[in-house]
Amino acid sequence: MTDVPPDAAADPVVEGPPQGTGIRVLAQFTRDFSFENPRAPDSLRADGPQPQIDLGVEMRARGRSDGLFEIDLKLSTTAVSNGTVSFQLELLYGGLFEVVGGNDEILEPLLLIEGPRYLFPFARQIIASATADGGFPPFMLEPIDFAAVYAAQRAQREGNLITTEPQGNA
């Protein structure tokens, strides 16, 4: 005996394109990478204080003529100890994405929040490996709130638009 109502079993299954919006990763790649350890081997001594590490995060998306989208996640770190740079790292990690469904209103946030969210674990691993290969403990980035980064970048962009308008009487 089944728990399916008799009239539900008679309904045909409708197949077709998925409902809603979806994003699919087609490819991932390192577009640009730089690691500098300018004071090696002196910077590798464990007797100094913990370095102060600054992290920069940038995201960019652009459409292509084939209907796909390229998304770049730029992560840059600088570790400073005793007033000198221990290491600097910059990674531009990209992906090729396909967006299914959706509209222009949600496209930008989808690309600049969800796209970087897919790319981040792979970029994080590259950074951890590079710092370990440079003689430091692996630098394991904490998860990033890409929605907050997107909101801050958007607010800055809109703020810049406002401040670049002519001021005073015309």
Domains contained in the chain, CATH given: 21-157 (3.10.420.10)
Confidence of residue 46 (pLDDT cuts 50, 70, 90): low
Asked whether the predicted pLDDT for residue 163 surpasses 60, the reply is no
**pLDDT of 122:** 97
Sequence-separated (6 or more) residues with CB below 8 Å from residue 118: 23, 25, 95, 97
Asked whether the predicted pLDDT for residue 8 surpasses 70, the reply is no
Which of the two residues, 159 and 160, has the higher pLDDT score? 159
Which of the two residues, 82 and 121, has the higher pLDDT score? 121
Provide the sign of the torsion angle of the four alpha carbons 141, 146, 152, 158, taken in this order.
positive
Amino acid found at 26: L
Would the pTM of this model clear 0.85, i.e. be above it?
no
Asked whether the predicted pLDDT for residue 6 surpasses 70, the reply is no
**pLDDT of 160:** 63
pLDDT digits (tens, 9 = 90+) for 83-139: 889 899 999 999 999 998 867 778 999 999 999 999 999 999 999 999 999 988 899
Burial 40-70 (b: 16+ CB within 10 A, else e): eeebeeeeeeebebeeebebbbeeeeeeebb
**pLDDT of 22:** 85
**pLDDT of 55:** 94
150 neighbors 112 (Cβ within 8 angstroms): yes
Asked whether the predicted pLDDT for residue 40 surpasses 70, the reply is yes
- Cα 106 to Cα 103: distance, rounded to the nearest angstrom: 6
- Cα 91 to Cα 57: distance, rounded to the nearest angstrom: 10
- Cα 142 to Cα 83: distance, rounded to the nearest angstrom: 24
Which of the two residues, 160 and 83, has the higher pLDDT score? 83
